[in-house]
Structure 1
Amino acid sequence: MKPYKIPESVLVVIHTADLQVLLIERAGNPGFWQSVTGSLDAPDEPLLATATRELFEETGIVADGETIALRDWRLSNVYEIYPIWRHRYAPGVTQNTEHVFSVEVPPGTPVTLSPREHTQYVWLPYLEAADQCFSSSNAEAILQLPRRAGISA
């Protein structure tokens, strides 16, 4: 039996300096566009390690800490786990704590999707990207991007 998911995750908003945001569409859920998300692999996995791992697994983008560096917003969201995904968690678990990160990448950065997780990707201006997200916390993070990343919108 597959172990239950840990109800603690990361959200990584990927963007360029001109606020183009990468969204990826969930496999098995057409129309569910999102930024990179993923749960901790172990209760003691550092959040930065989770964000770095998920960024690479879902997009092929390597955060090397120098040219591509993750930014920890030190922001956490607690939300209800969508009923369609609750079976992945231990019985009775209904909430997840999500920790927000962002990463600025150069325009034209190659994206290699994990086909078991995502079917396609798109780069959109940040306001359009926020409108496309199915997750309200993901949309809100994208709307905060200019302020959090110190970029003029």
Structure 2
Amino acid sequence: MGSDRPFKIPESVLVVIHTPALDVLLIQRADADDFWQSVTGSKDTADEALALTAAREVAEETGIDCGKGSVLAPQLVDWQLRNVYEIYPRWRARYAAGVTHNTEHLFGLCVPGRIEPRLNPHEHTAWRWLPYCEAADACFSPSNAEAILLLPQFAA
């Protein structure tokens, strides 16, 4: 990795964006056609608050503002769950030497309906809304699928 771009911090968020009817927004990665996912992203700095990371990633990847002071800010909920998983080998070069695992913190964001996201084309190329069980089935990542299946528990 070049000196102009720092290594990724192996601590990230996963944000399940959903409607009150439990429809889930999935976005397709630009670097992997078969990879549908929820919003994910790493902390920018070690001391960045997880809620700030979550709101920043949602804005960067979908254009949806759920940051502090926004109308949707109260709808961004930290589920107080985390996954520790092995980083896929194809993406390990983004991390410092020897880093093999990431800690992912789960959040939910309830939006009023199936809104159209504004994707960053460098990161994602397509989007779709699916009922939560179908969304879980469509996810490439097992931890993302498991998080989506928890949605009824957290949306209640």
TM category (shorter chain) comes to over 0.9
Q: Distance in 1 between matches of 2:139 and 2:114?
A: 22
Instruction: Check the 8 A contact 1:10/1:37 in 2, yes or no.
Output: yes
Match of 1:123 in 2: 129
TM-score (norm 2): 0.93
Shift of 1:36: 0.1
Letter in 2 for 1:122: R
Gaps of at least 5 residues in structure 1 are none
Give yes or no for contact 2:28–2:37 (8 Å, CA) kept in 1. Answer: yes
What is residue 42 of structure 1 aligned with on the other side? Answer: 45
Q: Which amino acid aligns with 2:38?
A: S
d(CA) in 1 for partners of 2:106, 2:118: 22
Residues 78-113 of structure 1, C-alpha deviation per residue, up to 9 Å, x if partnerless? 000000000000000000000000000011423100
Runs of 4+ in 1 over 3 A off after TM superposition: 64-67
Q: Which letter does structure 1 place at the counterpart of 2:130?
A: L
CA distance in 2, matches of 1:124, 1:149: 16
* Number of the residue aligned with 1:98: 104
**What's the counterpart of residue 90 of structure 2?**
84
- After TM superposition, give the deviation of residue 28 of structure 1 in Å: 1.7
Residue type of the partner of 2:99?
Answer: V
Question: What TM-score do the two structures reach when normalised by structure 1?
Answer: 0.95
CA distance in 1, matches of 2:134, 2:7: 34
Calculate the aligned-residue CA RMSD, in Å. Answer: 1.0
Uncovered stretches (5+) of structure 2, i.e. residues with no partner: none
Question: Structure 2: how far apart are the matches of 1:102 and 1:116?
Answer: 24
- Matched residues, number: 150
Residue 154 of structure 2 aligns with which residue?
148
Structure 1 pair 131/13, CA: closer, same or farther in 2 (3 Å)? same
Contact 1:77 1:97 in 2 (8 A): yes
